[in-house]
Structure 1
Amino acid sequence: MVKALSARFYFVVVDDEGKERMKSRSISGLSINAPDQDVVLLGEAYGALKNENYFAVEKNVTHVIK
């Protein structure tokens, strides 16, 4: 049984020294029925709002096993 669904979006920023750093943002409390395509679309919309370009999306599903 699926208990929870969250997503993590990865992006790159350039720091004050000009070095590229990998960062991520997480969104929790997503619908447990959300298909992968909807999570990707959410990342695209959220990235547009935050002016970030996500190169990877990680879908985290928490299951109840007992």
Structure 2
Amino acid sequence: MVKELSARYYFVVHDDDGKERLKYRSIFGLSIDAPDQDVILLGEAYGALKDEIYYAVEKNVTHIIK
């Protein structure tokens, strides 16, 4: 049984030295029935609000096994 769904969105920033660094933002408490496409669309909308481009999306599902 699925207990929880969250997503992690990865993006690139430049530090003070001009080097690229990979960072991420996590969104918790998503609907456990959300298909992959909805998680991607959420990332696109959230990225537009934050003025970020997400290069990878990680969908994290927590299951109850007992």
TM-score (norm 1): 0.99
How many residue pairs end up in the alignment? 66
* Structure 2: gaps of 5 or more residues: none
Aligned CA RMSD, in angstroms, stands at 0.3
Task: Give the letter for the 1:34 counterpart.
Answer: A
Match of 1:63 in 2: 63
Q: Which has the higher strand share?
A: 2
Supply the distance in 2 between the matched residues of 1:7 and 1:39 (Cα, whole angstroms): 7
* Structure 1: gaps of 5 or more residues: none
- Among all aligned residue pairs of Structure 1 and Structure 2, give the percentage whose two residues are the same amino acid: 80
Moved over 6 A (4+): none
TM-score (norm 2): 0.99
